[in-house]
Structures are given as structure tokens and as C-alpha cells.
Amino acid sequence: MYSIIYGSLSRQHKALQLLHDLLEEEYRSIMGRKLDAVCSLEFSIQELIRQLAVEKTMVMKGLNGVRAREYAAMLPEEQASALLQILLDIDAGEQQVARQASRNSTLSLALLDQSSRNLNAFTQQVMPFHAQTYGRRGGMRVRQHPQAAIISGRL
């Protein structure tokens, strides 16, 4: 039982290291605005996260609801220390991945905001000032004057 649990935790640790590397590569691709690279990396990241979830579920089922630290307390000293160390490594890896994912998300949202503002600014420059600029026939409407154009003055 120990070898199965330890093997799964070891795979999780290695997967978290790979996930961090993929997230760093995604960050560089976002900075370089390489859309194709970001899309392909995103598919790889999602698949890796799915595999991590399967590994975690396998450990939870293997332990039958017992926490991994409680299970480690029931093991001999050498096995317990190895299991606790891999749990600490997994925790540190998860925190590192979470920080990198947050950086990627912040950068992506900032670029989206910048692009939206640029699009709005360009749209404002292209749109006519008055909503009724164009007539039914597609041409420019002549602006109508509210008062007489030839005679204006007071009596």
C-alpha cells in the first residue's frame, strides 16, 4: 500500500514541476504575444491538471478517507519521513504553480483590457459624431437648420 501511495505522490510532485514549467512557458508566450503557442500550451496544461486530479483521487481512494499525514504517522520512521517530505514538496509545488498561474491570469486580463480600450478608441474615431449622419439611401444627410438660413436677426 505504501509503495502505491508514495508512487502516486511522487508522480504528483513531478507533474507539478512540469506544470510550473508549462506555466512559465505560457507566460513567455503571452509576453511575446504568440497566440498559437499560448493555445497549444493551454491544452497541455489542462490535460496535465486532469491527470493530477486523477492521481489525487487515486490517493484519496487508496487511503479510504484517512489523511495522508495520519497515514504517515502509522508507518515506520523511515517511510513516514519520506512520505511527509514528499507531501511538503507537493505543497510547495502547488503554491509555486498557483503564483505562476496568478501572474499569467493578471497579464492576460491586462492585455485584454488594453486591447478593449484600443478597440473602443479606434471605434470612437471612426464613428460619425451624429447618429443620424447617414440617410436611408446610404448617403450623407444634409444637416437641417432649425431657423432660416438666409434671414436671421431681430426685429
Residue 28 pLDDT: 93
Which residues neighbour 141 within 8 Å (Cβ) at sequence distance 6 or greater?
A: 132, 133, 134, 135
* pLDDT at residue 130, rounded to an integer: 62
Q: Which residues contact 95 (CB under 8 A, 6 or more apart)?
A: none
Calpha distance 122→115 (Å, rounded): 11
- Give the chain's residues under pLDDT 50: none
C-alpha cell at 63: 487511503
* 100 touches 27 (CB < 8 A): yes
Query: What is the reported pLDDT for 35?
Result: 85
Residue 135 lies in a domain: no
Alpha-carbon distance of 121 to 99, in angstroms, equals 33
Count of domains in the chain? 1
Does residue 47 lie within any of the structural domains? yes
Q: Are 111 and 34 in contact (CB under 8 A)?
A: no
All three cell numbers of 68: 495522508
- Smallest CA-to-CA distance from 28 within 90, 109, 132, 104 is with 104
pTM score of the predicted model: 0.74
Which tens digit of pLDDT belongs to each residue from 102-136?
A: 999 999 899 888 888 988 888 888 876 665 555 55
> Tell me, what's the pLDDT at 138?
54
Q: Which amino acid is at 1?
A: M
Q: What is the pLDDT of residue 104?
A: 93
Phi then psi for residue 46, to 5 deg, are -65, -40
pLDDT value at residue 120: 87
The answer to whether residue 128 sits within a structural domain is no
CA 135 to chain centre: 45
* Single-letter amino acid code for the residue at 86: I
Question: Is residue 77 included in any domain, yes or no?
Answer: yes
Is 12 a member of any domain?
yes
Residue 35 included in any domain: yes
What pLDDT score does 132 carry? 57
Domain extent for 24:
2-103
In CATH, what number is assigned to the domain containing residue 31?
A: 1.20.58
